[in-house]
Amino acid sequence: MFRIRTLIKSLYTIFDNNKRLRRDIISITGLKPRNINHYISALTHRSLANKRQNGSDRDNERLEYLGDAVLSAVMADYLFKRYPGSKEGFLTKMRSRLVNRENLSRIALRMEIDRLVMLNRSGIPTKKFIYGNALEALIGAIYIDRGYKKARKFIIGRIISSQADIDKIEGSEWDYKSRIIQWGQKNKQEISFESYELEKSGNPEPLFVATIHIMDTVAGEGFGYTKKEAQQLAARKALENLPS
């Protein structure tokens, strides 16, 4: 009788824990889990899984690998469409800055994924990237449980749009003008810009040209539909021409 009561109590505990986890997953992802076991695995660190029987099948490393691939694919597609005409180098830099371990860990903490991660807190040399890795594993779990479209919806809606600070990252990546001015101050070189609008010649939109001068020498030229864009492109050209 004692064993039966213990078993029933254990089953109730598991049910209650899974019920709470379902609520948390819905709150974080906006999606209803179909198979909660995928999410349990995604949130189980190997330090805890290795203490269990068949632990190798219960930790999140395989799901992390899968989630990393799905995240990279979605991010590449998103950036490709957001920045039409941008060079491969810019797109690669933007993607790497958005999905690097530090940024993913910050996003995971803001989403409060750290509350759900199950791990053996003793004997781990550093927990620096555990939560970012768990976020990738969660993406892998969503992909297996709900498919690519739902995983993409979660990444764009809950990570890129809400948490990724993409405008800030884009600004730091594109602010060539500030970077060339800082270079001039550091190297005691006078930096100046000249901008003017080109004659339309059949083009309905205004087109501007900007030149950047370093100590009265033209160092770069750029064209854009605004003065700011033209100056940024001229500054980028100048930076490319600077000795490394």
Q: What is the pLDDT of residues 120-129, one digit of tens each?
A: 766 554 566 8
Residue 185's pLDDT is: 87
Phi, psi of 127, deg, nearest 5: -110, 20
Which distant-in-sequence residues (6+ apart) come within 8 Å of 155 by Cβ? 70, 71, 74, 75, 139
Domain ranges of the chain: 2-172, 176-241
What confidence tens digit (pLDDT) does each residue in 62-109 have? 999 999 999 999 999 998 988 887 778 778 878 887 888 888 988 999
68 is annotated as an active-site residue:
yes
Selected from 3.30.160.20, 1.10.1060.10, 3.10.270.10, 3.50.50.60, the CATH number assigned to the domain covering 176-241 reads 3.30.160.20
d(CA 39, CA 18): 10
Cα(198)–Cα(209) distance, integer angstroms: 7
Query: Across-strand partners of 244?
Result: none
Q: Which among 24, 136, 167, 194 is annotated as catalytic?
A: 136
Question: What does the pLDDT read at residue 172?
Answer: 59
Element (H, E) at 154: helix 148-154
Q: Are strands 191-197 and 217-224 parallel, antiparallel or unpaired?
A: unpaired
Are the C-beta atoms of residues 185 and 178 closer than 8 Å to each other?
no
From the candidate CATH numbers 1.10.10.10, 1.10.1520.10, 2.102.10.10, 3.40.50.980, the one assigned to the domain spanning 2-172: 1.10.1520.10
Q: Which pLDDT score is estimated for 65?
A: 95
- Residue 161: predicted pLDDT: 80
Tell me which residues of the chain have a pLDDT lower than 70: 1-17, 49-57, 121-128, 163-165, 167-174, 200-205, 244
Residue of 24, 61, 64, 68 marked active site = 68
Considering only CA atoms, which of 188, 189, 198 is closest in space to residue 217?
189
Question: What's the rounded Cα separation, in Å, for the pair 139 and 125?
Answer: 25
**The one-letter amino acid at 187:** N
Distance of alpha carbon 205 from alpha carbon 167, whole angstroms: 25
Output the pTM of the full model.
Answer: 0.64
- In the annotation, is 145 catalytic? no
User: What pLDDT is stored for residue 143 in this prediction?
Assistant: 98
Predicted confidence at residue 15, as pLDDT, reads 43
Q: pLDDT value at position 173? A: 55
